[in-house]
Amino acid sequence: MPKRLIVIGGVAAGMSAAAKAKRVDRDIEAIVYEKSPYISYAACGMPYFIAGDVADYRDLLARTPEQMAKRGVEVHVRHKVTAIDPDARTVTVHDLEQKREFTQVYDRLVIATGARPVQPPLPGFNLRGVFVLRSLDEGRTLRRFVTQREPQRAIILGGGYVGVEMAETFHRLELDVKMVIRSGQVLRTTLDEDVRKVVEEELARQGVEVIRGKPIALEGNGRVGAVVVDTENDDERYPCDVAMFGTGVRPEVALARSAGVDLGATGAIATDSHMRTNLPDVFAAGDCAQAFHLVAEEPDYIPLGSTANKQGRTAGVNVAGGKATFDGVVGTMVVRAFDLAVASTGLTTARAQDLGHSVHETMITAQDASHYMPGVAPIHVKLVVDDRTDRLLGGQIVGRRGVAKRIDVLATALHHRLTISDLQRLDLSYAPPFAPVWDPILVAANVAAR
């Protein structure tokens, strides 16, 4: 008799798990329950949809339930799983459309419940014009709002990836943009101070004001009109027509925890390298699960779509009887901040020191192409190196062109535990439009080696 796989959550990790399981074992019965109306969509593309770069939200959909049905995967949208009984091997499902509840038996279960936005309980949070940006529904609602209401002033609460991307989006829509960040630092956990300074200078050049302070209330008469911020001097009131929370996300683990699934130190679901939880035949993947950081050598929580897809794929192989492992991440990211690409991988200096490393750091400014080429621009490369072993621990790059290419070189070096000497010997590509004869990574490695 074919085994039944139930997947809770139908975005990156969940759909990757279901699709891969079906490819490994064509006889497996794969059922996906997703509480939203959409599956398998590109959440990372929503700022560009809101800005108008992506004309139709349907362009963000990688798969539909109808397409998955043709592949043998049964998908139910607007179905929320409300309970897991690991002893009976059942899930309780609430059909949000038909307003009915039923129980379904599983042989294997994948929990891919994702993450939820951090939403501080501020007065006025429910005013019109206040948004979080996590689901495609929320992205569509925000786009309608800025198109129909034509706001003039935007305030972003938080300075992470989404906050930086939405600062650019609102600016391109000709809004006055302010960012309220408690620490006053954009991308605080991702960049060191010297690299962050380059990014903050770009934000200032584009007219984005960064306000250091703690938001304490949203004010308005039905619709948001201002954000009240506790600054170093006093409470300040900043008028706005739209406010968006970009204060990060937390793993959505309430369902798993109530079923007895173990959580890790990060607060996300703990799994082994096969994506198995502590419960028999129950797996977890995506933004609800933690990952092992290969450089920090400890569990970490870095919710990215690339990681979710890999974890989901790994879980899918294993629930179908195959053998696959997901060994971990090095924390690679890249984000666009107006005219700059900002990228990081591995450990910052601050985190490396917190973990007990004695480090030396090198930051160089070079050119992203040969000096005589049109459009040549500065590129900043920072390397974080273990002082004792000369092993590369991390890197950060900011520039106009070629940043993603180069951060991937450093990410590969981290995966293979390369030293600065190894980095110096890399045979990197050279052609005048793309890189100088001494690539900026090699320049940084040479300086670090001194």
Residues marked active site are found at 44
Residue with structure tokens 């009240």?
228
Q: How many CB atoms lie within 10 A of CB 116?
A: 17
DSSP string, 154-171: EEEE--SHHHHHHHHHHH
DSSP string, 375-443: T--EEEEEEEEETTT-BEEEEEEEESSSHHHHHHHHHHHHHTT-BHHHHHT-----BTTTB-SS-HHHH
Q: Compute the distance between CA of residue 30 and CA of residue 48 in angstroms, rounded to an integer.
A: 33
Tokens of 301: 């929580």
Q: Residue 44 gets which letter from DSSP?
A: G
Q: Compute the distance between CA of residue 150 and CA of residue 166 in angstroms, rounded to an integer.
A: 16
Q: Compute the distance between CA of residue 66 and CA of residue 191 in angstroms, rounded to an integer.
A: 42
Tokens of 330: 């090095």
CB of 433 closer than 8 Å to CB of 439: no
Q: Compute the distance between CA of residue 311 and CA of residue 303 in angstroms, rounded to an integer.
A: 11
Q: How many CB atoms lie within 10 A of CB 333?
A: 18
Question: Which residues are within 8 A (CB) of 328 and not within 5 positions of it... i.e. 6 or more apart?
Answer: 273, 291, 292, 293, 294
Q: Residue 424: what are its φ and ψ, rounded to 5°?
A: -60, -30
Q: Compute the distance between CA of residue 272 and CA of residue 144 in angstroms, rounded to an integer.
A: 42
* Short-list 173, 159, 152, 160, CA closest to 242: 152
CB of 91 closer than 8 Å to CB of 55: no
Ramachandran assignment for 17, one of left (phi > 0), alpha (psi -120 to 50 degrees), beta (any other)? alpha
* Short-list 373, 423, 427, CA closest to 401: 373
Distances (CA, A) of 371 to 368, 375, 397, 403: 8, 9, 19, 17
